[in-house]
Amino acid sequence: MNDNIENYIQPGKRVHLVGIGGVSMAPLAEVLKGKGVTVTGSDMSESAAVAHLRSLDIPVVIGHLPESVAGAGCVIRTAAVHNDNPEIAAALAGGIPVFERAQAWGALMRHYKNALCVAGTHGKTTTTSMCTHIFLAAGRDPSVMIGGTLPILGAGHRVGQGDTIIAESCEYCNSFLSFAPTVAVILNVEADHLDFFQDLEDIERSFRQFAELIPASGGYVVANWDNANVRKTLAGFQKSLFRFSLTDHDAHCRAENITWENGLPTFNIVVHGEKYAHVSLRVGGEHNLSNALAAASAAYVLGVPGEAVEKGLDAFTGAGRRFERKGTYHGADVYDDYAHHPDELRALLTTAKTLGYERVLCAFQPHTYSRTAALFDGFAAVLKLADITILADIYAARETDTLGMSSQKLAQHIPGAEYAGSLEAVTARLAELARPGDLILTVGAGDINLAGEALVTPG
């Protein structure tokens, strides 16, 4: 599509959103309406998001009907909606321009003085959430787009009146290359989404292109200098680079005087050798210490005072499905986490082992056949860290199994691991094993959370 989306998201123009109830489509609809655009949409089912949009006088049709796009100036879709969708097919046949969701967000970002875009193979949702807390504490009234629910917002988005937009920025399908960051945060660069990217080098190229999107004057890349692939990705980078690190004494932002209590860190954030903030986190693990440095670095380069960093991070207790407490069962604490990459699992299980539980029980649901195959050895190595590992069937998502990959095969490579299969079987096995002093973790990016919720919810 060669048309410029800017020409279509103007006051008085009509835009139709296919999949309008989605996690970043619903806030997009709100922002567009707030700018005077006439917004309509469709979705496959009723939801709280659809009900909210209707309360804002945004009409939503349930089901995808060709006639829904009639009269629209352009159509915006999610990456999951393809050309064979009846509405997209009708738009293309009728000469109505079709744009991707990321293109629309990128166009909107250009209307903000500050566009803070948080990227990385993992840690994006948590770090974007930390940034949101900090900018709210600073009174900056940000607009926000997060790929998960943040309790302080009661949603995954916020439409503010300030000059800053904070956006979780995903590399999958190169979608973040449509964004317009003034501050680009890169947390880590690892092999993932290998159903789209060719290899790690392909991913590094994508992140380098993302970094190059910042303006030459006034823009910043905020980079985790503890990640070797980030350093490689940014080798020879000519624009403004702000480095944070837990280990590199030459980094611009560092953590000093770190103390740990019950798995939670207290530390000073030091920028250019001077104390910027004193922080006590309510989320554990060294990975969250690093995420906090990333959020504080972004705040620093955007002129946020250290007191707002302290206040914002003090109020942060985690994003939805990020070490989220579900309840107790037979004296065991039940938590859920979205980790679906070996590095995320290592961070989660390493942290879990510091929390003082007698045993850590990990019920893991691999996500997609291609990811399980590509990262098989990593999963097998890291799942040994739990005292007991129980494997659910692979969550297929958008795939069918053409690789002969299974959770049974993975279980055979993890000493002491058990294959359970269905979520009901996982719940039943956890119920048999649970005892006081245990930490039960349901882990994965699919619907494994239901197994833990079934434990703690009677009936």
Specify the pLDDT at position 206: 94
Rg (CA), the chain: 22
Contact criterion met (CB below 8 Å) for 435 and 420: no
CA-based torsion, 374, 378, 381, 382: positive or negative = negative
Q: Mean pLDDT lowest for which of 138-142, 154-158, 284-288, 453-457? A: 154-158
Instruction: For residue 382, give both structure tokens.
Output: 């890291």
Specify the pLDDT at position 193: 79
pTM of this structure:
0.78
Instruction: Check residue 8 and report its DSSP letter.
Output: T
In the chain, where does the domain assigned CATH 3.90.190.20 lie? 324-456
pLDDT at 67 over 90: yes
pLDDT at 1 over 70: no
Q: Report percent pLDDT > 70 for the chain.
A: 99
CA nearest neighbour of 168 among 206, 134, 114, 127: 127
pLDDT at 27 over 70: yes
Specify the pLDDT at position 268: 98
Specify the pLDDT at position 135: 98
Average of per-residue pLDDT across 67-78: 96
Which residues lie below 8 Å from residue 317, measured CB to CB, with a gap of 6+? 151, 282, 283
Does CATH place domain 5-100 in 3.40.50.720?
Answer: yes
- Provide the edge-to-edge strand list for the sheet that holds 418-421: 324-329, 332-337, 438-443, 359-364, 388-392, 418-421
pLDDT at 454 over 80: yes
pLDDT at 458 over 60: no
Average of per-residue pLDDT across 424-449: 96
Dist. CA 38–CA 94, nearest whole Å: 20
What CATH number has the domain spanning 324-456? 3.90.190.20
| Per-residue pLDDT band at 376 (split at 50, 70, 90) | very high
Angle of helix 449-456 relative to helix 423-433, nearest 10 degrees, comes to: 50
Average of per-residue pLDDT across 63-74: 96
In the chain, where does the domain assigned CATH 3.40.50.720 lie? 5-100
3-state percent breakdown (helix, strand, coil) of the chain, nearest 5: 35, 25, 40
pLDDT at 374 over 70: yes
More confident residue, 436 or 79: 436
In the chain, where does the domain assigned CATH 3.40.1190.10 lie? 112-314
Contact criterion met (CB below 8 Å) for 363 and 440: yes
| Per-residue pLDDT band at 322 (split at 50, 70, 90) | confident
SS3 395: strand
Taking only the tens place, the pLDDT of each residue in 194-253 is 778 889 999 999 999 999 999 999 999 999 999 999 999 999 999 999 999 999 999 999
Contact criterion met (CB below 8 Å) for 439 and 355: yes
CA 54 to chain centre: 26
Average of per-residue pLDDT across 379-398: 95
SS3 426: helix
For the chain, what is the mean pLDDT? 93
pLDDT at 170 over 70: yes
Taking only the tens place, the pLDDT of each residue in 96-148 is 999 999 999 999 999 899 999 999 998 999 999 999 999 999 999 999 998 77
**Count of beta carbons in the 10 Å neighbourhood of residue 62:** 13
Specify the pLDDT at position 457: 64
First-last CA distance in the chain = 51
Domain 112-314 superfamily per CATH: Mur-like, catalytic domain (3.40.1190.10)
Identify the residue whose tokens are 């990459």.
341
